Structure 1
Amino acid sequence: MVAHGRSIEELDTSLFITVSGPPGCGATTLCEQLADAIGCPYVSGGDIFRELAEDRDMSLNQLTAKADESDEIDRALDERLQQIAEKWGTASKPFILESRLAGWLAGDRADLRIWLDAPEEVRLERIDERIETEAEMRVREVSEAGRYQSYYEIDIGDRSFYDLHLNTARWSKRAVFTIVGSAIEEYDPELDEGAFRTPAMGV
C-alpha cells in the first residue's frame, strides 16, 4: 500500500471518514496521509478553533478560557462542523472531518469513524515542540470534556460507536496509515452488517 520514499499509494474510496482523539494522538498526521492518498479535502476542528483565536487576537488558552465563560464559541464551532458533516454526508464523495466531536457531530452520516489515542506521556512528548504547552493541553482536555457534558450531555469517554480505535503509540505513523488504509480498501458496503448507532446528543 505504501510506496518507497514519502509518496503514498492512492486509495480508491468515496467514504466520509471522521477522525477523533485527544491532543497528540496523531490525528493530524493520519488525516494528511489519508487526504493525500485519497485525493480528498479534510477539515480540522482544531484549525477552525485556531482561526477563531487568531480572529480575536487570542492564544488558544485564552480562547479556551473564553469558551468556559459562555457556550457561544463552542456552539458556533460545532454548528459549523455539523453543517460540514451534513454537506459531505450526502455528497457521495470522499471527505475527512477531524475533531474531538467529529464522530458525534457526523453521527450516522459518517461511513467510517476512527478514534486515535496514545498514553498521556507519549502525547505530551509529541506536543513538546508545539505552541501549546503541557499545562495548556491538560487544561484544554479537562475543560472540553466538561463543556461537552454540560452542553450536549456527551461523555467523551464513550467510544462504543467508533469503528476503529487505535493506540498510535504501538505503531509507526506509516503503520497507522497502513492499518487504516487497509480498512478503507477492504470496506465493502454489500458486506457491511451495520455500524453502532451514535448516542443521541442532548440539546
Structure 2
Amino acid sequence: MISGPPGSGKSTYAKRLAEDLGLSYYSTGTIFRSIARERGLSLAEMSRLAEEDPRIDLEIDRRTLDVASRGGVVIDSHLAAWLLRDKAQYLVLVKAPVWVRVRRIARRDGVPLRRALAETVEREWSQRLRFKRYYGIDVSDTTIFHLTVDTSMYSVEDTYRLILEGARRRGL
C-alpha cells in the first residue's frame, strides 16, 4: 500500500513496486479521475460533488477493499491505508512539500501552476473533510505507516530503493 497526497509520487512507486514484486497494481485515484471524466468534471468539481454525495467515496472504497481482500496487489491510494491498516503487510507514505507536488502535477497534467495549486489545495481540503466525516479518519495521523519518505529529499531511484528494501524486509 502506497499512500500520500496528490503529486507525492504514489503512482510512480506503486506501479514499479507491483511490477518488481510480480503483483497487480490498483489505483483509487485512477478510478476517481475516470468517474470525473465520465461526468465531465474537473478533479476539484468531482471532489466538491463527493463532499455532497458520500456514495462516490464509499463505492471507490468498497471496490478497493474487495481488491485488497484478494491479495497480491499494490494499492495506490490516499485513504485506503487507514482502511486497510490492520490487513496490509506494508504501508508506505510518500510525501513532499506542496510547492514540489504542485510543480509535478502541473507538469504531469499540462496545466498552469496557479491552476494546479488551486485544484490541489481544494482537493486536499475536500479529502480531509470527507475522510473525517465519512470514516472519522484524520489523514494527518501518519503513525500507521511502516515507512514515510519525503520524495523531494531523494532521487526517484533512491526513494524507490528505500521502498523496495522495506518491502523485502517485510517478506514481500
What TM-score do the two structures reach when normalised by structure 1?
0.77
Q: Is the aligned partner of 1:146 residue 2:146?
A: no
Q: Please say if 1:135 is aligned against 2:118.
A: yes
Q: Secondary structure at the match of 2:70?
A: helix
What does the per-residue CA deviation read over 1:71-108, in whole Å, with 9 as the maximum and x for residues that have no partner? Answer: 121111111112222222xxxxx320111112112221
Map of 2:34 onto structure 1: 51
Aligned equivalents of 1:183 and 1:68: distance in 2? 35
| Structure 1 SS opposite 2:93 | strand
Distance 1:53 1:124 in 2: 20
**Alignment-mate amino acid for residue 42 of structure 1:** Y
Q: Where in structure 2 are the equivalents of 1:81-100 lying within 5 Å? A: 81-88=64-71, 94-100=72-78
Q: Which residue of 2 aligns with 1:78?
A: 61
Structure having the higher helix fraction is 2
Work out the CA distance in 2 between the residues paired with 1:74 and 1:23.
Answer: 16
How far apart are residue 188 of structure 1 and its match?
4.7
For residues 68 and 185 of structure 1, what CA distance do their matches in structure 2 show? 38
Residue 160 of structure 2 corresponds to 177
In structure 1, what is the Cα distance between the partners aligned to 2:37 and 2:170? 39
* Alignment match of 1:113 (pick from 91, 113, 119): 91
Pairing 1:21–2:8 present: no
Structure 1 pair 154–43 and aligned structure 2 pair: CA distance change class (3 A): same
Q: Which whole-Å CA distance do the structure 1 matches of 2:65 and 2:13 have between them? A: 21
Kept in 1, the 8 Å contact 2:131–2:138? The answer is yes
Distance in 2 between residues matched to 1:184 and 1:152, nearest whole Å: 28
Percent identity for Structure 1 against Structure 2: 32
Match for residue 161 of structure 1?
A: 144
User: Deviations 1:146-176 (Å, cap 9, x if unpaired)?
Assistant: 1111111110111111100111111100111
Structure 2 segments unaligned to the other structure (5+ residues): none
- Structure 1: runs of 5+ lacking an equivalent: 1-17, 89-93, 190-203
Q: CA RMSD in A?
A: 1.6
Residues 53-79 of structure 1 show CA distances to partners (whole Å, capped at 9, x for unaligned) of: 122232222211211222121111111
Letter of the 1:155 partner, please give it: D
CA distance in 2, matches of 1:175, 1:66: 38
Query: Does the residue aligned with 1:166 lie in a helix, a strand or coil?
Result: strand
Equivalent residues of 2:3, 2:79 under 8 A apart: yes
Matched, 1:123 2:101: yes
> Following the alignment from structure 1 to structure 2, what is the Cα–Cα distance between the partners of residues 186 and 63?
38
What's the TM-score once normalised by structure 2's chain length?
0.90
Q: Distance in 2 between matches of 1:128 and 1:51?
A: 19
Q: How far apart are residue 36 of structure 1 and its match?
A: 2.1
- CA distance in 1 between counterparts of 2:170 and 2:18 reads 17
